Amino acid sequence: MINDGCLPIKTIKKITAFSGHYGSGKTNIAINFAFTIKKYIDEPVTLFDLDIVNPYFRTADSIDYLTRAGIKLVSCKYANTNMEGNLLPVDVQSAFDDPIGRKVFDIGGDDVGALALGRFYNELRDFDMDMLLIINKKRPLSNDLKSTLDIMQAIEIRANTKFTGIINNTNLGNETTPDIILDSVTYANEVSQITGLPIVFTSVKRELCSCLSSLIENIFPIDIYQKPGWAIY
């Protein structure tokens, strides 16, 4: 279904937003997604970092990679500092004022972070947009169906936006094996069936893709650009 693995390039919306529980891997997914769009679509790509509540994962940490790829980064002006708060850059409004190009949003984990997107509800109503829920069965607070559904509902309420799809990003960082990813497929399918949302792709570290490509549909190969202390992607 995708060029660089599984992304349906022709159906990518003007705005794609990623959210999920802390540690689900949304920042790394957002970065890889932006790179793939830039590779296959001849349009400007802007990555908006609205993750203003989690100091451990920052798209700003990958500014050099993004700049070299020709991707513009808009992030909280306090990213990469020890100052936290609900402060958004004025440039976020440019996502809605400028119709040219594709926009990727990295939304803060859980319902509090989702407030950042909810502030732009009126603007978002006029845009063709996907809101994708990233799930990771190996994260303690989202490793069962009930917890995942509770997180999903809380984010939707605060963001005032409904999810349109699911990304299975189950992993254990550097300890991830093909079996761990395979074992997560049933869980991802359960979430999909209960919510009625499609599984857009299953993300897999590039070096593991060859042994899983015939076993899992819609694999999205990813590289690791965020490497915090516990090395979770």
Q: Which helix (H) or strand (E) holds 106?
A: strand 102-107
CA 59 remoteness from chain centre: 11
Q: What is the pLDDT of residue 109?
A: 66
Alpha carbon of residue 115 to chain centroid: 16
Mean pLDDT of the chain: 81
Give Cβ neighbours of residue 39 (< 8 Å, ≥ 6 apart). 3, 4
pLDDT per residue as tens digits for the range 171-229: 988 899 999 999 999 999 999 999 999 999 999 999 999 999 899 988 999 998 755 44
Question: Domains of the chain: which residue ranges?
Answer: 9-222
For residue 144, the SS3 value is: coil
Average pLDDT over residues 157-180: 92
Rounded Cα–Cα distance for residues 145 and 132 (Å): 17
Region 2-26: mean pLDDT is: 76
Fold of the domain built from segment(s) 9-222: Rossmann fold (3.40.50)
Q: Which residue has the higher pLDDT, 89 or 135?
A: 135
Distance between CA atoms of residues 66 and 38, nearest Å? 10
**Closest by alpha carbon to 173, among 181, 161, 182?**
181
Q: Residues 83-101: pLDDT tens digits? A: 344 445 556 777 777 788 9
The better pLDDT of the pair 195, 120 is held by 195
In this predicted model, what pLDDT tens digit does every residue of 47-81 receive, in sequence order? 988 876 554 446 666 778 888 889 998 876 544 44
Q: Are 84 and 78 in contact (CB under 8 A)?
A: yes
